[in-house]
Amino acid sequence: MKPWALVRLALAGTRSDTARVALTGLSAGLATLAYLAALTVVAIPTVEDNGSRVSPQYRHALIAEAGLRPGVVVVLVLLTIPVLALAGQCALLGAPSRDRRLAAIRLAGGSPGQAIAIAATETGLASVLGTAAGVGAYFGGRELLHRPGADGKLPLPTDVVPPAWWIAAVCLGIPAVAMLFAVLQLRRVVVTPFGVVRRVRDRPPMPWPGVLIIVGLVITASIVPLSRQLEGDTPALLLVLLFLGLACATVGVVAGTGWISYRTGWLMHRFGRRPATLLAARRLMADPWNGSRTLAGLLACLVFGGGAAGVRSSFATDFQVEREAAERSAPSGVTIEPRDTDFYFGAFNLINIAIAVGLVIAAGGLVVALAESIVSRRRSYAALVATGVPRSTLAKAVMWQSLTPAVLGIATALAVGVGLSRGLFGDASRQDSVVREVPVPLDDLALLGAGAVVAVLAVVGAGLLFLRASTAIEELRV
Amino acid sequence: MSYLSARGLVRSYGRTPALRGVNLDVEEGEIVAVTGPSGCGKSTLLHCMAGILRPDAGEVTYREHRIDTWSEGARAALRRTEFGVLFQFGQLVAELTAAENVALPLLLAGTGRREARTAALSWLDRLGVADLADQRPGEMSGGQQQRCAVARALVTEPRVLFCDEPTGALDSLAGEQVLGHIVRLAREQRTTVVLVTHDVQVAAYGDREVMLRDGVADPTGLGTVAAQP
Amino acid sequence: MSTPHVLLGLLADGPKHGYDLKRAHDLKLPRAKPVAFGQVYATLGRLARDGLVVPAGQDRDAGPDRTSYELTEDGRKALMEWIAAVEAPMPHLTSVLLAKVVVTLLVGDADQAREYLAAQRAAHTARLRELTGVKTDPDATLGDVIAADFGIAHLDADLRWLRTTLDRVADLHEEVITR
């Protein structure tokens, strides 16, 4: 297939699948904005000031201090992962007209690979549009947000532009990565000449991901003792270990959701009495990995969020212990000026904002996945409604099948996140004779968990809108 | 008044009229075949009479009740209890086993799980597919799936069975078996059947045939409606 | 028609006399037009004349009509040839239905032809329903079913033709009267 033919065929569907293209474009645009913001921060020039490297023209320390900027960049780049995953997930959105078009292409002699390539190119083209919009928004935003304060300091680095070739690389890279995600998402989709079939693994999941979680926790817990033993200057190794521990635990939680889905499905089938639970149970058992796939972004955010909450709790305890120790050792009558902790908690708040944004984006991906699962079953849903099954029963089934693995997965993710932080920083803080236990940050965890559950509920609500459209009697026509 | 009747049904899809004033009376226990070329509105007529679609104008009465004005919930309950519906294909839930698919309407009606399964198994047996009870639709042939669908449509012992091209996706022998089962069971249960088809061989399973053409009944079969617009 | 060959076939498993042949014919081909005694005897006479069957004996207490016949070697060969021969698929497109439509258009108008076609279709449909009833009868034998299938398939073909011809009558009228 010549490239022009690929593009021509990929463009054939842009009119009928507006929603999918718009969502793909939007996520590509967001990713572009995040990358350009990160690159801008990277491009900030620094000056030497009494041995510390700073950029004094900015108001916020996070941007002004060169040592803190890599953290900002990392958070921004991490944010783009769920965004790009969302763009790829849009390729899954089972727009019926696209399914028919791909099947027709196969019927006309296209190979399965070509059909997937066309679908991926659609994503790529939509991402190009989104990226262009993102670049436009970036330059527009620079103009709008360039507001020097009374002291001449800038709230944001609106005075720097990354080199042109960096921008060009983002413009090319984002559509390419979105296409890569699309191909990954479509690897279980088989385009036959008669329609699009979604392959599912039929082996029930095993609880091995639990082992992965434990490995992750052990690795993280071994970092501090290891660094004491090594005593040398080995931050690189420790960083790798930290990353490895985090990755193991996150993958374990995500994959473990498959097992959780299957088991809850089994239990619901065993003990459920209502048709809605029967439908949901069978769906969970038939495709337990659906939970892992769709909840991956959300759960990763929550592992990270749980960890951040734990670390925050550790820091808070440390500060308290530090102050108490200072008070004890200080001669009477001297008031101890408490350490200025605003900076740290400000940073934590920023991380929380990033996690919240990540959650929202992951919820967007969840909407896409849920809508896909409903739309691809529209025929049997429509037939059920025609035979008198109330839509509310179907809605309940969708609710059960989405919420049970989500709630259990969310709880696991938060627990693992806190476990990681406690493994790293210990469960107690001591200085001199002052020892304080680090409390489990129940408030923060409850907030995160509730936020995630609310996000999933909102997603189910949005998915139910698709249910109404998918049960229209027209779906029964061939 | 007839058991089930349609009076002056009008229904359009956008600007395309599907029904332009159709009358149809069906008596209790009767098997009526509705035929006509594709696009004549026969499926739409069935959907309106079964309470799946609301007509734009006209009335549908079932046992002296005017049902087209009922709420969606009330019509769904009617379809669940009094009516059975059978389509061309794709009506079984892919994730449920044959027995669970057949038991579904009973579970919806609040029947206990064990009782529902027993009833489902006995209906699968009556349709000659008892050995498939624990298989999923994907593991069955089209004819077997359709027999399960017949079992599901009849498991609540409906008063009226609506069939829309029930054998459209089957080869002639499998189709014949499905139709044979439908007719035999309908006669046993004294079920009224409305059978929509474009195939004269399928229509011949009915006690009588009603021809539709361009959204109106064509009682003489002269097709003059189309000839004189 | 194929009555001589059917009789040859019925004689293949042993000698029979005319009365047995008639009974066997009506039993094996249950929904065919029953064969008359006279036709059986006349056919047997012709077959004997051609040397395909020979008298095989006579019931003692019966008259000349109770002669039984058996196949000759030639008769068996003729039977096998008939079985193996492929029938010409509709060599002539002649049918009473077809002729009636054309003649109606010659002497009448399109409406008259249409009325005839609709009436014929109603009759065909009724017969189709009757044969379908034969098939769905729980007591139907497989013989009944394949005979009914045969009729159903042909009626279906006729009905399709009637349907399309109804739609073509007006144009056909033009053609018939102008040629």
Tens of pLDDT, residues A407-417: 999 999 999 99
pLDDT tens digit sequence for A309-334: 988 888 888 888 888 888 777 777 67
pTM of the model: 0.72
User: Which of B107, B115, B160, B170 should one mutate to test binding to chain A, selecting the residue with the greatest count of A CBs within 10 A?
Assistant: B107
Query: Each residue of C108-128: b (16+ CB within 10 Å) or e?
Result: eebeebbebbbebbeebbebb
Q: What is the mean pLDDT of chain C?
A: 86
Q: Is B28 a residue whose pLDDT tops 90?
A: yes
The C-alpha of B222 sits at a distance from chain C's nearest C-alpha, in angstroms, of 6
Q: Does B164 touch chain A (CB under 8 A)?
A: yes
pLDDT band at A195 (very low <50, low <70, confident <90, very high): low
Q: What is the mean pLDDT of residues A163-169?
A: 90
Predicted pLDDT of residue B24: 93
- Cα angle A62, A64, A67; round to 5: 65
pLDDT at C49: 92
Query: What percent of chain A is modeled with pLDDT above 90?
Result: 12
Interface test with C, best of B35, B198, B200 (most C CBs within 10 A): B200
Dihedral sign for Cα atoms in the order B133, B138, B139, B140: positive
Q: What is the pLDDT of residue A364?
A: 80
Per-residue pLDDT at A234:
61
pLDDT at residue A54 in the model: 75
CA-based nearest residue in chain B for residue A265: B95
In this structure, are residues A381 and B95 in contact, taking their beta carbons and an 8 Å threshold?
Answer: no
pLDDT in tens, A377-387: 777 888 888 88
Which of B76, B90, B104 is closest, CB to CB, to A275? B104
Q: Which residues contact C80 (CB under 8 A, 6 or more apart)?
A: none
The confidence band for B210, taking pLDDT boundaries of 50, 70 and 90, is very high
Residue type, C171: D
Q: Would you say residue B65 has pLDDT above 80? A: yes
The count of residues in chain C is 179
* A357 pLDDT above the threshold of 60: yes
* 3 state DSSP class of B208: strand
pLDDT at residue B98 above 50? yes
Check residue B225 and give its pLDDT: 42
Task: Kindly report, residue by residue over A135-148, the tens digit of the pLDDT.
Answer: 999 999 888 888 88
pLDDT in tens, chain C (179 residues): 588 999 999 988 888 888 888 888 888 887 788 888 888 889 998 999 999 999 887 765 555 567 888 899 999 999 999 988 888 887 777 788 888 888 888 888 888 888 888 899 999 999 999 999 998 888 888 888 988 999 999 999 999 899 888 888 878 877 777 76
Mean pLDDT of B63-83: 89
Backbone angles phi, psi at A189, to 5 degrees: -100, 125
Chain B: residue whose CA lies nearest to A276: B108
Q: What angle do CA C44, C23, C136 make, to 5 degrees?
A: 130
Taking residues A287-316, report their average pLDDT: 85
Mean pLDDT, residues A458-470 = 84
pLDDT of residue A106: 76
Starting at the edge strand found earlier in the chain, the sheet holding C53-58 runs C16-17, C67-71, C53-58
Does the structure's ipTM exceed the value 0.90? no
pLDDT at A475: 65
Contacts of A16 (CB under 8 A, 6+ apart): A95, A97, A98
On the question of pLDDT at B4 being above 80, the answer is yes
Q: What percent of chain B has pLDDT over 90?
A: 54
- Mean residue pLDDT of chain A comes to 81
For position A244, what pLDDT does the model report?
86
Quick one: average pLDDT of A266-272?
Answer: 89
User: Which residue in B176, B207, B220 is closest to C118 by CB distance?
Assistant: B220
Which residues of chain B are within 8 Å of residue C114 when distances are taken between CB atoms?
222-224
Mean pLDDT value across residues A345-355 = 80
Q: How confident is the model at residue A225 (pLDDT cuts 50, 70, 90)?
A: confident
Q: What angle do CA B160, B163, B168 make, to 5 degrees?
A: 170
Report CB contact under 8 Å: B180, C135.
yes
Q: How far is CA B131 from CA B86, B113, B125, B148, B177, in A?
A: 22, 20, 8, 11, 17
Angle at A150 between CA A145 and CA A151, to 5 degrees: 105
Chains A and B contact (Cβ–Cβ under 8 Å for 3 or more pairs): yes
Angle between helices A112-145 and A3-11 (to 10 degrees): 70
Q: Which of A433-442, B44-53, C73-82 has the lowest mean pLDDT?
A: A433-442
Which C residues 96-135 touch B at CB under 8 Å?
114-115, 118, 121-122, 125, 128-129, 131-132, 135
pLDDT at residue A93 is higher than 70: no
| DSSP 8-state symbol, A426 | -
Q: Which residue type sits at B165?
A: E
State yes or no: pLDDT of A16 exceeds 70. no
Contacts of C118 in chain B (CB under 8 A): 220-222
Q: Which residue has the higher pLDDT, B106 or A73?
A: B106
* Partners of B208 in the β-ladder: B32
Supply the pLDDT for residue A431. Answer: 76
